[in-house]
Amino acid sequence: MSPFIPLLLAATQAIAEPNLVPDTPSTVPDYFCTWNVQGFACGYSGANSQADMMIETNLFGQGPNQNWLSFYPEVRGDLTFLLDDAYDFPIGGGHNHPMRGSLELDAGRFPSYKGTPAERLAQLCKDVKARGWRDLGLWICNSRPNVEGLPIDSETYWCERLAWSQQAGVRNWKVDWGIGMPGKPLWKFKVTPKARQVAPDVWIEFGTQGDLYRTYDVHISVSIPETIRRIAAFLTREDPNDHRLCNCEDEVYIGAALGCCYGVMRHPLTGPMPNGKPDPFFPEHFRNVKRRMDEVTRAVRWHRIAQPIYKGDKFLIDTNTFTDGKSKPAPARIARGGLPLPTVTVPDGKEAPYVLCSRHTDGEIAIATIGRVLDNKDVAIPRADVTLEVCSLNRPIGIFGEYASLTLIATNDLAGKRILAQDLAGTTPVDITAEVKVEKGKLVIPGSVIHRVGRMAAKPGDLSDPGLVLAIEGLTKFIPKPPMKPNRKFQRPDPAYAEVTDEPGLPGVLLIGDSVSIGYTLAVRKELAGKANVHRPPQNCGSSAVGLANIEKWLGNGHWDVICFNHGLHDLSYEFSPGKNINEKGEYARPDNGGHHRVSPEEYRQNLTKIVALLRARAPRAKLIFATTTPVSADLHHYVKDSELEYNRIAVEVMRQQGVQVHDLWAFAKPRIAEIQQPGNPHFTAKGSEVLAKEIARCIVEALK
């Protein structure tokens, strides 16, 4: 026995205390997704080959690289087993197979399952649950060609499949990109009140009307900063109707600290792939994620104690950012649930880790330090002294990552209290009172204690960073968690779409535009109250192509005095094909990876010319005002910085040729962009939308004179 082991046992003697982690599995919509193990099985030889790995024998078989349902024995009762693309069309069917999106288990892939589509799903769900998983989830192609020519609409089509899922026990829909077949109409998926009613227990991961927002695929080399950046963007995107949970995918410690759900992608199949090559998605030389399986166990078990936070809580995002390697800047610190940003101290000349924290709805506290890529090497967590003010310390605390020390400042009197801690992957708490510093309102935990206790239940060879739950005797109260279910209250439409009751005798104003326009519509109405009746179409008016197709409908029978219109932001965005701006690698369309503008500059010119002609023909007495597209001040997803400049130049040329007044909203916004636009996002803050509204209203008032 090592001479150090008796000292270790004396310092962290296990005690006869109840397990600090509840035995009851979590009902949080966390899932394990099969997409990466499918890639491993085919040697990542292409998306179609990867889809062909979704077969019954890979799930249940006992051969090499099979038996996927045996993964995660410690926590699979807390997880949905989610089948990714493709289970509903024949092997070798390819990207645009007409059965993709049918949700009908393909007989060639799943030969053991018979009966109606709903019955086959129910049998599979039963078998998955018999292997210990909580339930079954499905990847959903968000459109399906109506190759049969059936006279049913999209809502009827998708509600039927949601009803199958509800009946079968499927509890998660991971809705992703769609397909198209030339000359064939599509059944397009959309969340509607009826969809909610027929499937009250199915979590839907899709759009702002869904239940979950997914940060989406990202390359392992930038997964940490990019996931943090996307969560920050989600939190700052202002929408009073958006109350989704955030799914951070495989970055489970980020999710544990920020109140997110998990879409676990890592799997335990190690070594070379069947083709003899190393796994490129989870490489051994960088992070070695497949030797960090205990992290998943710890993060998932934390959800038995603290459930994720719906969007709409108070948050703070650090303006300081880190840029590691080829990553985009990500906030150094984020705090949710009303917590302040933690204080992070490192020795002079040393880098700091990302530090993330949250207070959950029932008061539980979570905090994590997250690693950095320094000197273009592997990820490591710089040791920092971290201090967090938590107010009342009367709920469990989840602590993840490595520290020099962690100080919790509380309003409670902590003096004389016994401090218990437990590896979230274990079942036995330890008394660490003698190893921490406790004062009246302060608890200081050395990083060495966090490291040791947070890995006490580590499996041999596992490299996971520590993760523990801490409790204070006589203060900490564990709140039993009710089952989490999707929010079935259908979110109301954007108030900008509300029907307007005209005030007699006032001129009529029509606003036509995209989400920027939606953002300032209510404020324009307020500015022009008593001066004009302000209307807009009850939708995002999108690109100039959408405008050209819908302009006559939007004009309706109204007698407009002023029409203020804009198209451009959607036109200049990039896509790979109609409606598809993300490829199979999870990359957003850009000019350097095969992406192209949604509407080309020349088509944009032609569309605007035709739109003006239609406006003049259908609303001959209206004063037309074209608002230029506001700045795209940063690269974001499928937007490229400054790409609006060419489109604005074209728009101004067209409007001058047609004698249409130009309101240069770009020139108005540009000097004050840092104060009014969301960071790294072409959309505007609530205050920014009000600023734009005042300028729009001023221009309209001038036109009405």
Pairing of strands 385-391, 31-33: unpaired
Contact indicator for 235, 317 with CB cutoff of 8 Å: yes
For 626-637, how does the pLDDT look when each residue is reduced to its tens digit (9 = 90+)? 999 999 988 877
Q: What proportion of the chain, given as a percentage, has pLDDT over 90? A: 79
Report DSSP state, residue 222: G
CA proximity to 336, closest of 354, 313, 365: 313
Work out the pLDDT band at 702, boundaries 50, 70, 90: very high
Tokens of 282: 């989870």
Among 215-219, 342-346, 679-683, the minimum mean pLDDT is found in 679-683
Q: What is the dihedral of CA 675, 681, 687, 693, to 10 degrees?
A: 110
Coil, strand or helix at 147: coil
Report the Cα–Cα distance between both ends of the chain, in Å, rounded. Answer: 92
Report DSSP state, residue 289: G
How far is Cα 174 from Cα 142, in angstroms, rounded to an integer? 9
What is the CATH superfamily name and number for domain 495-704?
SGNH hydrolase (3.40.50.1110)
Residue 320 pLDDT > 90 = yes
Kindly report the number of other CB atoms within 10 A of residue 688's CB atom: 22
Contact indicator for 445, 469 with CB cutoff of 8 Å: no
Average confidence (pLDDT) over 420-429: 98
Tokens of 587: 């990359």
Average confidence (pLDDT) over 167-194: 86
Residue 570 pLDDT > 70 = yes
Burial grade of 504 (CB within 10 A; 0-12, 13-18, 19 or more): exposed
Among 20-34, 181-195, 490-504, 508-522, the minimum mean pLDDT is found in 490-504
Average confidence (pLDDT) over 121-139: 98
Q: Spell out the domain ranges in the chain.
A: 26-210, 310-472, 495-704
Which residues, at least 6 apart from 501, have a Cβ–Cβ distance to it below 8 Å?
Answer: none
CA proximity to 554, closest of 567, 543, 539: 539
| pLDDT number for residue 14 | 60
Q: What is the dihedral of CA 524, 527, 532, 534, to 10 degrees?
A: 20
Contact indicator for 336, 309 with CB cutoff of 8 Å: yes
Pairing of strands 31-33, 263-264: parallel
Average confidence (pLDDT) over 562-566: 98
E strand or H helix that includes residue 448: helix 447-453
Work out the pLDDT band at 588, boundaries 50, 70, 90: confident
Among 20-29, 148-157, 457-466, 660-669, the minimum mean pLDDT is found in 148-157
Average confidence (pLDDT) over 449-476: 98
Work out the pLDDT band at 11, boundaries 50, 70, 90: very low
| pLDDT number for residue 191 | 86
Average per-residue pLDDT for the chain: 92
How far is Cα 435 from Cα 444, in angstroms, rounded to an integer? 9
Average confidence (pLDDT) over 296-313: 96
Residue 2 pLDDT > 60 = no
Q: What proportion of the chain, given as a percentage, has pLDDT over 70? A: 95
| pLDDT number for residue 557 | 76
Average confidence (pLDDT) over 446-475: 98
Residue 373 pLDDT > 60 = yes
| pLDDT number for residue 100 | 92
Query: Hey, which residues does 39 pair with through a beta bridge?
Result: none
Contact indicator for 310, 244 with CB cutoff of 8 Å: yes
Average confidence (pLDDT) over 53-59: 99
b/e map of 349-381 (b: 16 or more CB within 10 Å)? Answer: eeebbbbbbbbbeebbbbbbbbbbbeeeeebeb
Helices 544-555 and 601-618, axial angle in degrees (round to 10): 10
Contact indicator for 70, 77 with CB cutoff of 8 Å: no
| pLDDT number for residue 181 | 65
Residue 458 pLDDT > 70 = yes
Residue 426 pLDDT > 90 = yes
Among 56-60, 61-65, 146-150, 580-584, the minimum mean pLDDT is found in 580-584
Contact indicator for 236, 317 with CB cutoff of 8 Å: yes
Work out the pLDDT band at 578, boundaries 50, 70, 90: confident
Question: Pick the residue with more confidence: 328 or 459?
Answer: 459
Among 48-62, 70-84, 432-446, 676-690, the minimum mean pLDDT is found in 676-690
Work out the pLDDT band at 584, boundaries 50, 70, 90: low
Q: Where are the beta strands (DSSP E) in 305-423?
A: 315-317, 321-322, 330-331, 333-336, 343-345, 354-359, 365-370, 372-373, 379-380, 385-391, 397-400, 405-410, 419-423
Tokens of 496: 């900008």
Residue 581 pLDDT > 80 = no
Its pTM stands at 0.72
Average confidence (pLDDT) over 469-484: 94
Kindly report the number of other CB atoms within 10 A of residue 415's CB atom: 10
| pLDDT number for residue 490 | 45
For 192-244, how does the pLDDT look when each residue is reduced to its tens digit (9 = 90+)? 888 888 999 999 999 878 899 999 999 999 999 999 999 999 999 877 778 89
Kindly report the number of other CB atoms within 10 A of residue 500's CB atom: 11
For 236-294, how does the pLDDT look when each residue is reduced to its tens digit (9 = 90+)? 987 777 889 999 999 999 999 999 999 999 999 999 999 999 999 999 999 999 999 99
Among 10-19, 144-153, 420-429, the minimum mean pLDDT is found in 10-19
Q: In what order do the strands lie in the sheet with 263-264?
A: 203-205, 170-176, 135-141, 80-83, 31-33, 263-264
How far is Cα 122 from Cα 116, in angstroms, rounded to an integer? 10
Coil, strand or helix at 10: helix
Residue 4 pLDDT > 50 = no
